[in-house]
């Protein structure tokens, strides 16, 4: 069974950078789109960035565009989220998830994705 594990979160200053990793075990991301989502306390889980099943198309939330970059490493078992110019409003638990349906394009609805990792905390101080 596919399991996902996020890592790379931490505490950074306003304007800092972090690189999050999403590692797959028991399966791969081959044929599946992958999304990064985040959830802040008291808020709903929201889409941050996604990479298509082919790895050639990427989509970002407006809040992440021009600051974040999603990528794979060619192994089909790891997806990264490189984050620059972090702001306090980026503070959240960040999750990665695989699209439920193979060969499906990126969507923004969290219910379209499973399984999920346990999340990694990103805290940006002002």
* Beta strand ranges found along 8-45 (DSSP E): 10-13, 18-25, 34-39
pLDDT score recorded for residue 16: 98
Distance CA 113, CA 91 (A): 22
pLDDT score recorded for residue 20: 98
- What are the tens digits of pLDDT across the range 79-106? 999 999 999 999 999 999 999 999 999 9
* Per-residue buried b or exposed e for 56-92, using 16+ beta carbons within 10 Å of the residue's own CB: eeebbbeebeeebbbeeeeeeebbbbebeebeeebbb
* Neighbour tally for 112: CB within 10 Å: 16
């Amino acid at each position: 069974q596919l399991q996902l594990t996020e890592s790379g979160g931490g505490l950074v200053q306003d304007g800092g950078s972090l690189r999050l990793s999403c590692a797959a075990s028991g399966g791969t991301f081959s044929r599946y789109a992958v999304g990064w989502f985040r959830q802040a306390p008291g808020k709903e889980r929201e889409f941050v960035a996604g990479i298509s099943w082919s790895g050639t198309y990427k989509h970002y939330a407006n809040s992440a565009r021009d600051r974040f970059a999603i990528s794979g490493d060619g192994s089909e078992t790891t997806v990264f989220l490189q984050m620059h110019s972090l702001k306090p409003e980026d503070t959240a638990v960040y999750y990665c998830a695989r699209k439920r349906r193979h060969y499906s394009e990126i969507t923004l609805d969290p219910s379209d994705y499973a399984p999920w990792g346990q999340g990694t905390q990103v805290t940006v101080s002002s």
